Structure 1
């Protein structure tokens, strides 16, 4: 018996056990976020655009070890929260950006010069975001996500006109967002406004595949349940894998750190969307249909 047959057997006959594993990912994600809150004071790390601080863009015409530079600057500025990134064009380093909070301009520039980086007065740019403005951005984006979920729930309910199937879709989308957020927290991504926008994009993509599945399985009556599942799965997997390849290539090909963060979050989210749509939601829908069938026959 090949691996494909074993996996198909698990998918078709042991779906409740596999469903339980996917449901356990939800408390695991909550655990990661709560641990981050307990140890750092935040559920996830925020970038300068969300918590306030300064962003320096500095052109360079010399070799700069970007990764080690951040560690050395952190040792020189122990009270500062900073991130160093390189700016490249056609594979050649042309500048660096430094996002920093709790450090003055004089401290940052003098520390860079002490590391041997040549910086002429007036050759670099500085953008500042106040703490209150960053907090305001974060609050507004949080409200946007809440309203996105609310309107998504309304549209889903109008589409299916049944509470439980609508709740199944919402649970799958919520699981995807929660688990993607937990992974970004776990690997130390400092979320910017662009990162929050990526989560909004992820809501739209995730609900799309879940509605595809639910519509095919619940509204169509021809064929067995698993035949309808496989019909939806073929279309949905093709959509998601195409998107995964696209965002993964974009992550490696772009030099923009903003786009990199968006693409990385989308990649993580799309992987979880595969699990939550085609394992979690399929398992819940099958359980729901089996209960309806037993109630009808009982």
Structure 2
């Protein structure tokens, strides 16, 4: 018996230990110790070729998934400014070509009206609506070799008469009588004494006024350039401002030549106004980009575009309304020149001038 007890007790002790190991706590089984189970690191993730392509496309201003159109356009505008520079260059060359062709055919780089080259202006009050293009065609047919311009006047919605301009020799009674006869015939009723008004412009007086207007414009342009150079004291930004103003004036002048729109004394004044409008936005851009220090160059350019384009768009809209509502040809001529010039200013300021400023800052290492 004692032998059996001593023989069985080691066996029972072994079973007791196995039972303890078998009934271990769940927490010990679910959370093995770090010494027995080592955690292996996650494999390194590499971008797929599609992701690499998207990242490269985004860096180059190309289309990528999830990139807003506004951001893609800005990336292209900022990254391809040297390529975009071809747009204002072509516009300026095209303008010079049109002006040169007009000079080769007429001997003048603008189409002058009678106030600049001499002639007569006849004002005829009417109590009925007439077809001014048909009247102009009939007078031109009766007086070949002369520049004839017929335009109506009155209040909105009601025509009160016509104004006929012709580049006749004011010292020739035969040419004046021929013009009055052609006007009377085209209107279908003879003139009565005192029923019309006539104004004469001598050719020498018109030529003198045109010469003095050109001198005044050149002096104004030179003074503007001097102020720009003195203020910025740098060559490329100053030249960029002046080139933008020149481009605006050339584009407006080419438009008038292309459609054979005559320019009078009011047109000269409109070109002087255009210099001021053009320099305004260019100086705004240059001051914000060069003089201010807050933000990056792109942020300062974007801020300038937001302000300058809004200002120009509102001016174009206001002048468009004025052109549509005005009955005075003088006001319409001024509005038309400013509309064309400011539209061209959007190209010459925000593509040409911005490109030159970016190039200048890249050379200075300030981008």
Give yes or no for the alignment of 1:275 onto 2:347: yes
Equivalent residues in 2 for 1:1-298, closer than 5 Å: 4-102=70-168, 104-115=175-186, 116-293=188-365
Unaligned runs of 5+ in 2: 1-62, 170-174
Q: Residues of 2 paired with 1:211 and 1:217: CA distance?
A: 10
Question: Which protein has the larger Cα radius of gyration, Structure 1 or Structure 2?
Answer: 2
- Comparing 113-122 with 151-160, greater Cα deviation is found at 113-122
The alignment's TM-score, normalised by the length of structure 1, stands at: 0.95
Post-superposition offset of 1:235:
1.0
Verify the 8 A CA contact 1:60 1:118 in the aligned structure 2: no
Q: RCO higher in 1 or 2 (8 Å CA, sep ≥ 6)?
A: 1
**2:236–2:356 contact (8 Å) kept in structure 1:** no
1:162 CA displacement: 1.8
- Tell me if the contact between 1:79 and 1:102 (Cα under 8 Å) persists in the aligned partners: no
Greater shift after overlay, 96-105 or 198-207?
Answer: 96-105
| Residue 15 (structure 2) aligns with | none
- State TM-score, norm by structure 2: 0.77
CA distance in 2, matches of 1:218, 1:90: 48
The CA distance in 1 between the partners of 2:195 and 2:314, in whole Å, is 43
Aligned residues: 295
SS of alignment partner, residue 189 of structure 1: coil
Q: Tell me, what secondary structure is at the counterpart of 2:103? A: helix
For residues 64-96 of structure 1, what are the alpha-carbon distances to aligned partners after superposition, in whole Å with 9 as ceiling and x for unaligned? 210111111101110221100001223111110
Deviation at 1:132, TM superposition (A): 0.5
Deviation at 1:252, TM superposition (A): 0.3
CA distance in 1, matches of 2:100, 2:69: 37
Report which stretch shifted further, 143-152 or 111-120. 111-120
The CA deviation at 1:243 is: 0.6
2:365 is paired with a residue of what secondary structure?
Answer: helix
Flag structure 1 segments of 5+ consecutive residues without an equivalent: none
